[in-house]
Amino acid sequence: MSRKFTQDHEWIDVSGDVGTVGITDYAQGQLGDITFVELPEVGSTVGKGDSVSVVDSVKAASDVYTPVSGEVLEVNEALGDAPETVNTDADGEGWLFKVKLSDPGELESLIDEAAYKSYVAEL
């Protein structure tokens, strides 16, 4: 399983036809202390590039865009009580939602970790 990234600072790990989505460590660092995470509704259908979540921090509210189309299967309920998990473990326990991919071909338009690191280095 390889992680893919968007230039909007989301990541997705895909296993079979299910992708786990979160924001990157770079993104959480730019946001500062996260105070609230609005998650998508389980069962909702999302389209690639749709704003499906909002991460609120002491600095700003930031939209999270889904990197792929599909159905939201699960959300990270633990973030309701501990939104700061996105700050402390953005690449792991701070995941936001899981989506069943409706078009796995959409993954082809995402970038790999090396390309993402190169992109961030130029910001």
Are the CB atoms for 34 and 56 separated by under 8 Å?
yes
| pLDDT on residue 110 | 98
Place 52 in a pLDDT band, splitting at 50, 70 and 90: very high
Query: 2 falls in which pLDDT band (50, 70, 90)?
Result: confident
Q: Provide the CATH number for the domain around residue 100.
A: 2.40.50.100
Structural domain includes residue 13? yes
Q: Is residue 111 part of a domain?
A: no
Residue 96: which domain range? 3-106
Cβ atoms of 83 and 37 closer than 8 Å: yes
- Which DSSP state fits 41? P
Domain total in the chain = 1
**Whole-prediction pTM:** 0.96
In angstroms, rounded to a whole number, what is the distance separating the alpha carbons of residues 97 and 86?
12
